[in-house]
């Protein structure tokens, strides 16, 4: 599809998508008062699927920034119309398809607020104010990315020192909710407003996308110029994933911490490990359909838990059935969607590609 490709990123997409799916299996079990692994496995208790979304944000900021900076270097300008067209044809078809089929296949009756916010690419705001698209709530993150894409190309188009500007943007969105909460505490500690600020901060992770952008700038500066011992590089790359799956968490700035660590991993993967063979075919294939895995899995889980095919919800057989059906079913549907639906729009998207 795209002319620009970096080895290793499809694997990261696959890890992120499958981690979100696995985490949401346990969410479904917990919501239905079924014995779950939250008190046994730290991954579910502390970090889980949300960190997978942070990884998606960092990856997105990294790639979008590289493409914009390469376009600017080649043409001394950025074609904003072409950029927005590429984003629309990549993101919107599946996004709106999920909204339509989730409405048709379930008994969900969205409020007017939910409809307006989700149809206008503000599902993260809907999520924050308790008006989420509850039959596919994971779409909140698509809103974050689309809102980020609105302004990011204009920032890149006009800036002269991208690394400093990206760092300033990441710092601003990291500090903003803390400054607001501190000020409210000193002036008028309204619990409702403070909770809303926390929820909006949780659902507007522009700093993670900007951190990815910083990694993109460094990639363009140091590709082919920086050599690190392969074992050391692989050790550093693995650190955030070990922390993530061991459930490491902090009470504050956890997403920013993981965002920085993922950015370092992505930088090393794309500057130190592009030689040699290709990615494992299965991970590359899963990465290619990762957007579908992320978007379809909630509906698949709704279907699985409605069927109730295993009598004992505490049995090993139940968990094998749920996990295998959820993973394989989502992958199958995502594969069909990618090849028979999304590809049609991706081919249109490529007409607007400039790098």
Contacts 24+ apart (CB under 8 A), 329-334: 329/300, 329/303, 329/304, 330/21, 330/293, 330/296, 330/297, 330/300, 331/286, 331/289, 331/293, 333/292, 333/296, 333/300, 334/289, 334/291, 334/292, 334/293, 334/295, 334/296
Which mean pLDDT values do the consecutive 10-residue runs of the chain (355 residues) have? 78 97 93 82 88 97 96 94 96 98 96 97 93 96 96 90 93 92 81 84 90 96 88 96 95 95 97 81 94 98 84 77 95 98 96 89
What integer pLDDT is reported at residue 311 of this predicted model? 59
Residue 295's Cβ-count burial label (10 Å; 0-12, 13-18, 19+) is: buried
What is the per-residue DSSP string for 308-355?
---S-TTSHHHHHHHHHHHHHHHHHHHHHHIIIIIHHHHHHHHTT---
Alpha carbon 160 to chain centroid, angstroms:
28
**To which H or E segment does residue 36 belong?**
none
The span from the CA of 320 to the CA of 205, in Å, is: 34
Could you tell me which of 5, 9, 72 has the C-alpha nearest to residue 354?
72
Could you tell me which of 23, 15, 29 has the C-alpha nearest to residue 44?
23
Longest dimension (CA), the chain: 64
Domain ranges of the chain: 9-350
Q: How far is CA 123 from CA 55, 126, 127, 133, 176, in A?
A: 19, 5, 6, 7, 21
């Amino acid at each position: 599809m795209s002319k620009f490709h970096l080895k290793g990123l499809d694997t990261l997409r696959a890890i992120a998508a499958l981690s979100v799916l696995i985490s949401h299996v346990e969410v479904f079990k917990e919501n239905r008062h079924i014995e779950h692994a939250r008190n046994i496995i730290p991954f579910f208790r502390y970090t889980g699927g949300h960190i997978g979304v942070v990884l998606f944000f960092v990856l997105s900021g990294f790639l979008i920034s590289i493409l914009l900076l390469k376009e600017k270097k080649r043409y001394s300008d950025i074609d904003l119309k072409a950029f927005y067209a590429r984003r629309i044809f990549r993101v919107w078809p599946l996004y709106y398809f999920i909204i339509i089929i989730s409405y048709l296949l379930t008994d969900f009756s969205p409020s007017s607020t939910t409809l307006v916010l989700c149809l206008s690419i503000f599902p993260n705001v809907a999520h924050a104010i308790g008006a989420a698209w509850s039959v596919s709530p994971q779409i909140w993150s698509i809103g974050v990315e689309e809102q980020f894409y609105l302004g990011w190309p204009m920032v890149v188009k006009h800036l002269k020192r991208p690394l400093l500007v990206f760092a300033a943007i990441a710092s601003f969105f990291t500090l903003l909710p803390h400054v607001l909460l501190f000020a409210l505490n000193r002036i008028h500690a309204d619990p409702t407003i403070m909770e809303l600020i926390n929820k909006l901060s949780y659902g507007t992770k522009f700093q993670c996308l900007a951190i990815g952008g910083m990694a993109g700038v460094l990639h363009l500066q140091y590709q082919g110029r920086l050599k690190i011992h392969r074992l050391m590089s692989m050790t550093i790359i693995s650190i955030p994933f070990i922390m993530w799956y061991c459930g490491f968490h902090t009470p504050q700035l956890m997403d920013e911490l993981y965002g920085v660590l993922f950015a370092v991993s992505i930088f090393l993967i794309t500057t130190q490990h592009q030689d040699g063979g290709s990615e494992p075919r299965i991970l590359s294939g899963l990465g290619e359909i990762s957007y579908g895995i992320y978007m379809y899995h909630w509906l698949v889980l709704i279907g699985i838990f409605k069927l109730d095919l295993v009598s004992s919800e505490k049995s090993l057989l139940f968990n094998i059935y749920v996990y295998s059906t959820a993973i394989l079913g989502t992958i199958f549907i995502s594969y069909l969607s990618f090849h028979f639906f999304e590809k049609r729009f991706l081919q249109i998207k490529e007409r607007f590609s400039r790098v």
